[in-house]
Structure 1
Amino acid sequence: MNAIDKQAVGQAYSLDGMLHAKRMTWQAIEEMARRIKPGMLESQARAMGLEVLKEQGMDRIWHPLLIRFGTNTLKTFKQRSEGDPALGENDIFFIDLGVVWDRHEGDSGATLTTGNDPEMIACAAAAKTLFDRVRDHWEQQRVSGPELYRYAEEQAVAMGWILNLEIKGHRVSDFPHAIYRAGDLGDFEACPDVGLWILEIQIAHPTRPFGAFYEDLLS
């Protein structure tokens, strides 16, 4: 499959539709984050998250809602959480949403903290900072997917974090994007087009058992 095929879209697709899905997904993340409190179990947070999505009128979920607490922030998308931990008073957590709004796929994620642990706060901020640096590199240099993740790893090391290169981004589109079989962003040999790819960043603390996650649409 060539680069054109890997960036194909359906008849419903529009960039405005993708940007609307992005906005709605971030609104849902912000509302979930507002409701997540210390003492809540991961399972309770996920149930709450589904209620938020129903309240906001989603079309459907296209990938499972993930909310990870504490050491589970090191888990990749395909790995299951260890147990059902309660969020601590000084803790870290992330929210990862894949939701269809008006036939378009939103996919965003962010890391937040409770309390005042300085290294957790720094880790959450670093995931967003690294995302921004890589996105800016894409906008300014128009590089390929492998180059984006090479640059991401270089920047992560310079910042003092460990980048998880098992997480390398993916396609989105009008639902369902999966029919295009485009593979990971980090393996896409052309420059990714606007409004079609999710840049994912997952980092780990170099010595402590937690990490942070941030993802959003390249737009």
Structure 2
Amino acid sequence: MTPALGGKEAVGEHFALESMRYAQQMTWKAVEQIARGICPGMRESEALLMGKQVLAELGMDRIWHPLLIRFGANTLKMFKERSDGDPVLGDDDIFFVDMGVVWQGHEGDAGATFTTGSDPQMAACAAAAKELFDRVERLWRSEGVTGVALYDYAAAQAQAMGWKLNLDIKGHRVSDFPHAIYRGGDLGDFEASANPGLWILEIQLTHPELAYGAFYEDLLI
């Protein structure tokens, strides 16, 4: 168990690092299962209905933030923004799945980007979001820098890779449900080193010229 440090890293009495790891694993299982069910010709609304059914079948406790599935240009949208219309996924297209789900009383949160067809730029965009996440995660593991420094590094790395990082999305707290009572704020504003099992690292990239982007997030643990 991670110690309850108080302040922005406070946790509830039922918090257990092992349970956070389980929530992480189950959330990724759901992301991957939903992504496999999404295919060209499907509308965003149809994918959402399918995704909610998958979550119910997997035995989630509840959803703690809405399931988001974005197609095409909607991959540029941030969490609180509504999708434009109800687009149909194309044969050469890009989409992401983002979910926040409670399992055994603990909050899972994960998201990833996928492509259909063989568009090389879309594939590169999806891969870049995961690569950038991996680079930032390695910095956290090896040097234990502050949350502020993690996102400074992420922005510089994104630029060096030829992409633009959306710095309006800078990670957030998770915990035993509900984490919101602890008011942890954004990881990118956290002026200390993030302890394991408490923070989600979020990466959202935009293509430098085309109207789409990519998203990847996972628990730092």
* Cα-to-partner distance string for 1:19-63 (whole Å, 9 max, x where unaligned): 000000000011101100000000000000000000000000000
Q: How does 1:86-165 map to 2 (within 5 A)?
A: 86-165=88-167
1:199 aligns with: 201
Q: How big is the shift at 1:213?
A: 0.1
State the AA in 1 paired with 2:198: L
RMSD: 0.7
Mapped partners of 1:78, 1:180: distance in 2: 20
SS of 1:33 mapped into structure 2: helix
Aligned to 1:217: 219
User: 2:16: which partner in 1?
Assistant: 14
- Of the three residues 47, 66, 69, the one matched with 2:68 is 66
DSSP-derived class of the 1:116 partner: coil
Give unpaired runs (5+ residues) of structure 1. none
Q: Structure 2: which amino acid aligns with 1:34? A: R
Q: Structure 2 residue aligned with 1:46, among 31, 45, 48?
A: 48
TM-score under structure 2 normalisation? 0.97
The CA deviation at 1:4 is 3.3
Letter in 1 for 2:166: N
Aligned length: 217
Sequence identity percentage: 66
Equivalent position SS for 1:94: strand
Q: Which residue of 2 aligns with 1:26?
A: 28
CA distance in 2, matches of 1:17, 1:75: 31
Q: Give the one of 80, 96, 103 matched to 2:82.
A: 80
Once the two structures are superposed, residues 80-101 of structure 1 have per-residue CA deviations (whole angstroms, 9 ceiling, x without a partner) of 1000000000000000010000
**Alpha-carbon distance in structure 2 between the residues aligned to 1:154 and 1:34:** 33
Amino acid at match of 1:209: A
Shift of 1:11: 1.1
Q: Which runs of 4+ in 1 moved over 2 A?
A: none
Letter of the 1:150 partner, please give it.
D
Cα drift, residue 5 of structure 1: 1.2
SS at match of 1:216: strand
Rounded Cα–Cα distance in structure 1 between residues aligned with 2:106 and 2:64: 10
